[in-house]
Amino acid sequence: MTGFDFTFFLEVLVGGLLSGVMYSLVAIGFVLIYKTSGVLNFAQGAMLLFAALTFVSLVERGVPFALALAITFLVMVLLGITIERTVLRPLVNKPPITLFMATLGLSYIIEGAAQLIWGTQVHGLDLGIDDTPLEISGILISKFDLFAAAVAATMVAVLTVLFRWTRVGLAFRAVADDQFAALAVGLRLPRIWATVWTAAGLIALVAGLLWGARLGVQFSLSLVVLKALPVLVLGGFDSILGAIVGGLLIGASEKLAEVYLGDVFGGGIESWFAYAIALAFLLIRPAGLFGQKLVERA
């Protein structure tokens, strides 16, 4: 290698930022649940797999695209309500670790159910978005990743409006702030949680379609949660903005590290490099960049 190739650096950086947006799409689902119920929903990846597999299986059986989308959304709503009724409601006021373990179990059940219902075959998913690259000043940019970034931006905007300027959002924030106080003022916790899980199901559907189009719809889709965890640590578990910023930082830094530091460590470092950054952040700023600092009084 001779000299520093700035164009190449920019290309890696842009590619990393766009990959980071894909991580953010998954992380937003986590944030939504955590923000309103304090539960780290490890089943988000399995929900993503379930949504994508349901959608693609319907399309392959001849169901029109829009109808398949609507049916899948309905399925995700039912799934969200079922989870709330059968898992979360009986565990109200239980310690966070109990709820986390419950979602861990849920992830296995949803993954198994997805394969039980729809089979184990790998499916292609074509969203009709051409993925030939755009070349801007010598830098290749994926059209598909640009589309994904636009979807993520729209999702963040909608969620921000929902949380800040609607009654439902106000209720969400109240529940997130103090469940007992929210109950005391008459908010119906089960209904709010069911709504949140439904919204998380919708996010899982969107993320599942985009990741499914990228990887193919297969079991490995559920592993994308592993990409979201360092994003959450970095951005904060309860910040939608944090999920976006964290995704961008993780995406860019892991790609740059792979290209510029990979040889030093023998290559293949990006999978653990993101976690190394997250760990460093945990030590310096446990709540993440945008997360709420937890204050506990004895």
Q: Using the rule CB under 8 A, which residue among 64, 133, 190, 286 binds another protein?
A: 133
Residue 210 in the binding site for another protein (CB under 8 A)? no
Query: Cα–Cα distance between 53 and 215 in angstroms, integer?
Result: 12
Residue 270 in the binding site for another protein (CB under 8 A)? yes
CB-based contact 142:133 (threshold 8 Å): yes
- Residues in binding contact with another protein, number by CB under 8 A: 51
Residue 131 in the binding site for another protein (CB under 8 A)? yes
Specify the amino acid at residue 86.
Answer: T
Q: Using the rule CB under 8 A, which residue among 36, 142, 198, 239 binds another protein?
A: 142
- Interface region with another protein, contact rule CB under 8 A, candidates 64-72, 93-101, 114-122, 147-155: 114-122
Measured from the CB atom, the residue of 84 and 258 that comes closer to another protein is 258
Residue 267 in the binding site for another protein (CB under 8 A)? yes
Measured from the CB atom, the residue of 11 and 238 that comes closer to another protein is 11
CB of 15 to another protein, least distance (A): 4
Residue 70 in the binding site for another protein (CB under 8 A)? no
Residue 74 in the binding site for another protein (CB under 8 A)? no
CB of 105 to another protein, least distance (A): 8
Residue 120 in the binding site for another protein (CB under 8 A)? yes
Residue 113 in the binding site for another protein (CB under 8 A)? yes
Neighbours of 134 (CB within 10 A): 10
Q: Which of 98, 131, 111, 95 is closest to 43 using CA atoms?
A: 111
Residue 223 in the binding site for another protein (CB under 8 A)? yes
| Packing angle of the helix pair 189-215, 44-60 (nearest 10 deg) | 60
CB of 150 to another protein, least distance (A): 17
CB of 125 to another protein, least distance (A): 7
Measured from the CB atom, the residue of 24 and 239 that comes closer to another protein is 24
Q: Using the rule CB under 8 A, which residue among 78, 116, 161, 280 binds another protein?
A: 116
Measured from the CB atom, the residue of 5 and 177 that comes closer to another protein is 5
Q: According to CB under 8 A, which residues from 1 to 20 bind another protein?
A: 5, 8, 11-12, 15-16, 18-19
Residue 174 in the binding site for another protein (CB under 8 A)? no
How far is CA 101 from each of CA 31, 46, 89, 221, 270, rounded to the nearest angstrom? 17, 14, 15, 21, 28
Residues of this chain that bind another protein (CB under 8 A): 5, 8, 11-12, 15-16, 18-19, 108-109, 112-113, 115-116, 119-126, 131-133, 140, 142, 144-145, 214-220, 223-224, 227, 254-255, 258-259, 262, 266-272
